[in-house]
Structure 1
Amino acid sequence: MRYLFLAILVVQALEIGVLIWSGRTIGVPLTVLLIILTGVLGAYLAKKEGLATLQKLQDNLRRSMMPGDALLDGVCILVGGTLLLAPGFVTDAIGFLLLAPPTRKFFKARLYRFLKRKLDKGSITIFR
């Protein structure tokens, strides 16, 4: 959590730089159009992947299996969809990486290790 503020500042500075560069390179109207297009495409992908993950979660629960993998998918899809709604190309790129199933595996593995480490240390408790 201590690096979250710094990460937000760095990402926003990168966003501003990339948007200025893009506006100068391809023009402002095309830059705005690309931002709108990535937002619409991102919303579609988030809905599609989110519904598939919800179906997987329900199937796991019907079979009395723990839906851990589906829950991690859901977290990645939620964060990815949120990033795609934010205007900018850097957040869009990260959002698309979180939504695409092949690259989502990488983020899920990192999230799983992070949560496991926090649970092992006692930083996060499930039951109080």
Structure 2
Amino acid sequence: MFRILFFLIIVLSAVEIAIFVWLGNVFNVWFVLFGIILTGLLGAALAKHQGFHTLNRARYEMASGRPPTEEILDGLAILVGAVLLFTPGFVSDAIGFILLIPQTRKPIKQYIKKVLNEMFRKGSIKVFRNY
């Protein structure tokens, strides 16, 4: 897993640099810098809004006596999306926005649930309860 993650980080960084250079040649450096700053600011505002919305939904679920399972997955997706938006790069920003927008986040959450259920079924993840 570490090797795959390391490889993805190297490849993503190389792609981001190539896009910076290409856009800098097509437009100019100021356009690229403005794009980086704009996506960071928009991403921060969207992450804050989505984070508070998810936190309020989690509070409601807990007050109703239900576990906030969907909200936990939403919160993790929002956290990863926000981190990706704070890293400079247009590919990471696109992935970050995908994780922050609820309509595009839903299929990703379904896939994560499927993977987690499979891991639980295989015994890769064990749950210990204290009751």
TM-score, with structure 2 as normaliser: 0.93
- Cα deviation, residue 63, structure 1: 0.4
Q: In the alignment, which residue of structure 2 is the partner of 1:22? A: 23
Gaps of 5+ in 1: none
Q: In the alignment, which residue of structure 1 is the partner of 2:80? A: 79
Q: In the alignment, which residue of structure 2 is the partner of 1:97? A: 98
- Which letter maps to 1:4? L
Q: In the alignment, which residue of structure 2 is the partner of 1:120? A: 121
Q: Hey, which bits of structure 1, 4+ residues long, moved more than 3 A?
A: none
Residues matched between the structures, number = 128
Secondary structure, aligned partner of 1:125 = coil
Q: In the alignment, which residue of structure 1 is the partner of 2:12? A: 11
- Calculate percent identity across the aligned residue pairs: 46
Q: Does 1:42 align with 2:17?
A: no
**What are the Cα deviations for residues 30-88 of structure 1, in whole angstroms up to 9, with x where unaligned?**
10011011001101000000000000000000001121111111111000000000000
- Which letter maps to 2:74? D
- Which letter maps to 2:49? K
- Cα deviation, residue 110, structure 1: 1.2
Moved more, 46-55 or 104-113: 104-113
Query: 2-side partners of 1:42 and 1:126: how far apart?
Result: 35
- Cα deviation, residue 117, structure 1: 1.4
Query: 2-side partners of 1:121 and 1:90: how far apart?
Result: 34
Query: 1-side partners of 2:4 and 2:51: how far apart?
Result: 28
Query: 1-side partners of 2:47 and 2:18: how far apart?
Result: 26
- Cα deviation, residue 124, structure 1: 1.8
TM-score, with structure 1 as normaliser: 0.95
- Which letter maps to 2:39? T
